[in-house]
Amino acid sequence: MMNVLEQQLAHLVDECRPYTAQGKVADYIPELAHVKDDLLGVAICLPDGSYIHAGDVHHKFTIQSVSKALALCYVLMEFGEDYVFSKVGMEPTGDAFNSIAKLEETVPSKPLNPMINAGALAVTSMILGDTAELKIYQFRQFLATLLGVPVEEVRYNEKVARSEYETTDLNRALLYFMRHHGIVEGDVDEIIDVYTKQCAIEIDCFDLARIGRILSGNGEDPVTGDELIPRRVVRIVKAIMTTCGMYDASGEFAVRVGLPGKSGVSGAILATGKHELGLSDVGFGIFGPALDSKGNSIAGMKLLELLVERYTSR
């Protein structure tokens, strides 16, 4: 049974790989541009925590904006929803992930949601620790707990972090704007330091799929049954992933795939099953670095669409 599914998954990857030719690897962070553009891999974490996979799953890549969903989990667990949502909203923007437009239109300049850069930067500014190194350690520690590995195994790619740190004027602009309006406090360069390292953490499709499985299981470790994220936090994060996780393609993703998902400019997609679907209890981890014009993995989106179409009752 399992082998049949894995074979079908391999066929799906073959079918979707040509779509990579229609996309483009992100190069606005110079260090991201070096990756081969026809890669495509998928891992699915099953209810019992085991995996099936196909394609280029053994590549490591940086987590980029998928970290936004996890940082949101972390601050909700640490500070509670009232505080977090006093600093960042929960409404989709319909704008590009790095847009500044709504910040100026919204009073009091509160970023509309935590899945766009402005909101994610506000979330990152909340992470506890006296120094940038301690803050990023906290976040790595949280990720290590989710992945069930020692914190030393959760590393960021120094080159990618530095490459973004040196070029990310737009994110600095968002932070200066929000600091002026009292939405964030602290040193802008320090927040950028933590954020760029958070985005540069290296993971693979299996890691993403496991996290997706934790979210589909209401926060429980699929192997031990331990509660890793409280149920209420999972509900909030999945809701926000559904409405905002693919930026200004969130509506399209909802129509085509219909699962809570979160993408990153490295080509990563985290997606998680939900109850009304046949694939209710699984997690998906996808890597396909060729992106569409909105910054989402072009072949990864297609793969998820076909998976849902063919293997669920949706």
Positions annotated as catalytic residues are: 65, 68, 195, 247, 265
Find, among 45, 53, 46, 50, the residue nearest to 12 by Cα: 53
Residue selected from 124, 157, 171, 250 as contacting ligand GLN according to rule CB under 6 A: 171
Q: Are residues 261 and 208 in contact, defined by beta-carbon separation less than 8 angstroms? A: no
Which of 12, 41, 65, 201 contacts ligand GLN by CB under 6 A? 65
Nearest to residue 69, comparing CAs of 297, 240, 274? Answer: 240
- Select from 119, 217, 295, 300 the one that contacts ligand GLN (CB under 6 A): 295
Closest contact distance (angstroms) between CB of 270 and ligand GLN is 12
Residue 268 beta carbon to ligand GLN: minimum distance, rounded to whole angstroms: 8
Contact 119, 240 (CB under 8 A): no
Task: Of 266, 272, 237, give the one whose Cα is nearest residue 253.
Answer: 272
Instruction: Please give the size of the binding site for ligand GLN, defined by CB under 6 A.
Output: 11
Q: How many CB atoms lie within 10 A of CB 309?
A: 12
Dist CA 269 CA 300 (whole Å): 7
| Count of Cβ atoms closer than 10 Å to residue 232 Cβ | 14
Query: Site residues for ligand GLN, window 230-289 (CB under 6 A)?
Result: 264-265
Minimum CB–partner distance for residue 292 and ligand GLN (Å): 12
Scan residues 196-225 and list those touching ligand GLN (CB under 6 A): 199
Residue 273: what residue type?
Answer: G
Q: Quick check: 297 binds ligand GLN (CB under 6 A)?
A: no
Cβ-based neighbours of 224, under 8 Å, separated by 6 or more = 148
Q: Decide: is 165 part of the binding site for ligand GLN (CB under 6 A).
A: no
Closest by CA position to 36, among listed 23, 49, 45, 53: 23
Applying the rule CB under 6 A, the residues between 91 and 130 that interact with ligand GLN are 97-98, 117
183 binds ligand GLN (CB under 6 A): no
Residue with tokens 């402005």: 118
For residue 199, the minimal CB distance to ligand GLN (Å) is 4
Among 13, 31, 44, 164, binds ligand GLN (CB under 6 A): 164
Contact residues toward ligand GLN (CB under 6 A) are: 64-65, 97-98, 117, 164, 171, 199, 264-265, 295
